[in-house]
Amino acid sequence: MTTERPLALIAGASRGIGRAAAQELARAGYNIVGWYRSNEAASEETAKLVAAQGGQYTGMQVDVRDEDSVRDGFKQLRGLDGTLSSVVITSGITKDGLAATMSTEKFRDVVETNLFGTFYICRTAMRAMRKTGGAIVLLSSTSGISGQPGQANYSASKGGVNALTQALAKEGAAAGIRVNAVAPGFTDTDMFRSMDAAARQRLTAQIPLGRVGEPEEVARAIRFLATDESSYITGQILAIDGGITA
Ligand SMILES: NC(=O)c1ccc[n+]([C@@H]2O[C@H](COP(=O)([O-])OP(=O)(O)OC[C@H]3O[C@@H](n4cnc5c(N)ncnc54)[C@H](OP(=O)(O)O)[C@@H]3O)[C@@H](O)[C@H]2O)c1
C-alpha cells in the first residue's frame, strides 16, 4: 500500500536534535528515513517515538564520513513510499581541545563528519530533488558564527557549513531547492551533557534567556525551514540560542 505522505531524510536521527526533528516532521505528515552511525538501539527508540506520531520510520546505518556509504543510503530510498521532499542533516560530533595541542586526527574527524559529511549528503540530495524541488536544512552552531576557544575544529566545520548553506541556496534555487541552516546554542542533548559540569554551569550563565535550549525547540525551527511554511526563505542561518548571538 502506498501512502501520500512525503519523505524526509534525517541524518543523525538516532539521538538529540535529530530525534526531536524526526518526531516533529512525523507530526507534520512526513514519513521519515533516519540515519545513524552505530547506535542501533537508539535508532529503534526513535522509530517508536515516530510511530507514536503516526509516521513510518526506516532506520539505516550510514556513516556520513564515507561518501560510498552516503550514496548507498540514498539508493535505499528508492524502494520507499513517498517523494523525497526534505533533507535534514543533524549528524555531528565535537572533539574539543586547544588548537596548539590538537592532533590532526581530532581536527580531521570533526571536519570530516560535520562538513564533508554534510557536503556528501547535499551533493546527492540536490541531484535527487532536481526535478521535484525540496528543502534542505543543515545544522550549524553558534560556534560557527563566532569561533570558540577549545573548538577550533568544530568552529571551522560549522563556519564551513554556513558558507555551504549560502552557496548551495544559490545553486539550488532554479530547481526549487531551498537550503537553510539552524545554528543552535547550547541544547540539552548527549553532546552538551558530555561537557564537564563546571563548564556547563559557566556557559549556561552566559545565556540571556538563562537556560539551555531543549531539542524540541530546535526541532520546531527545523520543521519550519524543512517544509513549505518557509517557502520564500533560502540561504539563511537561523540562530536558536536563547540570545547568545544577539
Ligand atoms: N547539543 C548542542 O548543544 C548543539 C549546539 C549547536 C549545534 N549542535 C549541532 O546539532 C547537531 C545535532 O547535535 P546533538 O546535540 O543532537 O548531537 P547528539 O545527541 O550527540 O547526536 C548526534 C547524532 O549524530 C549521529 N552521528 C554522529 N556521527 C555520525 C556519522 N559519522 N554518521 C552518521 N551519523 C552520525 C549520531 O548517531 P549515533 O547515535 O549512531 O552515534 C547521533 O544520531 C550536530 O550537528 C551538532 O553539531 C548541537
pLDDT tens digits for 152-179?
999 999 999 999 999 999 999 999 999 9
| Residue-range definition of the domain harbouring residue 226 | 7-185+215-239
Confidence of residue 188 (pLDDT cuts 50, 70, 90): very high
Q: Which tens digit of pLDDT belongs to each residue from 52-109?
A: 999 999 999 999 999 999 999 999 999 898 899 999 999 999 999 999 999 999 999 9
Closest CA to 55 of 80, 32, 86: 32
Does pLDDT of 147 surpass 50?
A: yes
Whole-number Å distance between alpha carbons of 106 and 93: 11
Does pLDDT of 234 surpass 60?
A: yes
Q: Look at residue 197 and tell me if it is in a domain.
A: no
Q: Look at residue 208 and tell me if it is in a domain.
A: no
pTM: 0.98
Q: Look at residue 36 and tell me if it is in a domain.
A: yes
**What pLDDT, on the 0 to 100 scale, is given for residue 4?**
79
Q: Look at residue 206 and tell me if it is in a domain.
A: no
Does pLDDT of 206 surpass 60?
A: yes
Q: Look at residue 199 and tell me if it is in a domain.
A: no
CB of 244 closer than 6 A to ligand 1? no
Q: Look at residue 1 and tell me if it is in a domain.
A: no
**What pLDDT, on the 0 to 100 scale, is given for residue 79?**
86
CATH number for position 235: 3.40.50.720
How many degrees, rounded to 5, is the angle at CA 126 between CA 90 and CA 81? 75
Q: What is the mean pLDDT of residues 48-52?
A: 97
Could you give the C-alpha distances from 78 to 5, 23, 109, 173, 184, in angstroms and in order? Answer: 15, 22, 30, 24, 32
How many domains does the structure of the chain reveal?
1
> For the chain, what is the total number of helices (H) and then of strands (E)?
10, 7
CB of 157 closer than 6 A to ligand 1? no
Q: Look at residue 66 and tell me if it is in a domain.
A: yes
Which of 10, 37, 161, when mutated, tests ligand 1's pocket best, judged by the most ligand atoms within 8 Å of its CB?
37
Q: Look at residue 203 and tell me if it is in a domain.
A: no
C-alpha 117 – ligand 1 centre gap (Å): 12
